[in-house]
Amino acid sequence: MAEKKASPTFFALRTEVQNRKFRPIYVLHGEESYYIDQLSELIVNTALTEDERDFNLEVFYGNDALVGDVINSCKQFPAFAQHRVVVLREAQLIVKQPGRKDELNLFMHYAQKPLASTILVICYKGGKISAKQFTDEAVKSHDSAPTPGVVLESAKVKDSGLPALIKTYCTDMSVAIDNKSMMMMAEFVGTDLSRLFGELDKLRILVEGNPQGITPELIERNIGISKDYNNFELEDALRRRDALKAYRIIDYFEKNPKNNPVQNTVGMLFSFFSNVLIVRATKDQSPSSLMAATGNKSSWRIEKFCAAARNFSTQACVNIITYLRECDVKSKGMGSHQDSYALLRELIYKILHA
């Protein structure tokens, strides 16, 4: 049996489109709307000039679109242009309407013989598209359109996957970034991809022509994240049981509460020590095995977990996770009237002495 070919990534498809290599059908679905919006917009802006859009761009919306009308539009030839672009936005609204659950499969017949000059873009947000018959046909090559279509799942990014995503984005922009900078951006911005990539785009402009690339100092100057006092540095201080550095960071957090909410710190430490516990419990200590066990693809991050696992016993990790849960509840005002940063100092003491 032939091995199933992996689907192209968002970054690979973006490069294709920028090079004007278009697919006849794009099915963009998933919970992360950023990739869907970015790729659909790029296809329209690259395939058609502003003047060509008047006659060659048709946009339908799932709340009132009929699949038959979308297909008929796909079968029309472009007017005074190389391509015709047909976009179906909010396609998930079609299947939510009574009696229309399987209607997207009507595209299957068009997908068996797509018009080579038409680019069909289907945007399905909030989950996976259920039209399997259609999507199976969409990725096949045909005589009329020898380049196959593509189905891109735009999945939500987990916190643990952010550093790798940042690295991929910077590599795609041909910009260097070090590990500490990746962690700072992941911690400060989080999974809001529009904001994350927007900040990285700003930094890219600032480092143009500089081989050193994005550094912690550059981030500190232009985004306002302290390179010495952040959750990542706190994590490192606790890993080394460096009490002086840990308490200095908490003092800084208390003076800058807007950028350093206690709940974020507790959440990050919970994730860190949960992974340290997983490392201690995993028999196969090879990097690949630990990556699979923790769900983290960064070898540099795995090294941090392993270093902490050498300083904290299994029982200590279990106790720390309990302390973190207690602090999280109390910091939200349940069962305690203590100041949240006083709770955080107490938590740090318990972790250091676990």
pLDDT digits over 86-140, tens only?
Answer: 999 999 999 889 888 889 999 999 999 999 999 999 999 999 998 999 999 999 8
d(CA 273, CA 187): 16
How would residue 3 be classed by pLDDT, with cut points 50, 70 and 90?
very low
Which domains are present in the chain? 10-153 (3.40.50.300), 175-224 (no CATH), 228-352 (1.20.272.10)
Pick from 207, 66, 61: nearest CA to 121: 61
The residues, any chain, with a CB within 8 Å of residue 1's CB and separated by 6 or more, are: none
The 3-state DSSP class for residue 90 equals coil
The residues, any chain, with a CB within 8 Å of residue 311's CB and separated by 6 or more, are: 239, 240, 241
Query: Tokens in use for 340?
Result: 């949240």
What confidence score (pLDDT) does residue 4 get? 52
Q: 152, 39 in Cβ contact below 8 A?
A: yes
Question: What is the longest distance spanned by two Cα atoms in the chain?
Answer: 74
d(CA 29, CA 347): 42
The 3-state DSSP class for residue 234 equals helix
What confidence score (pLDDT) does residue 281 get? 94
pLDDT digits over 130-149, tens only?
Answer: 899 999 999 988 777 778 99
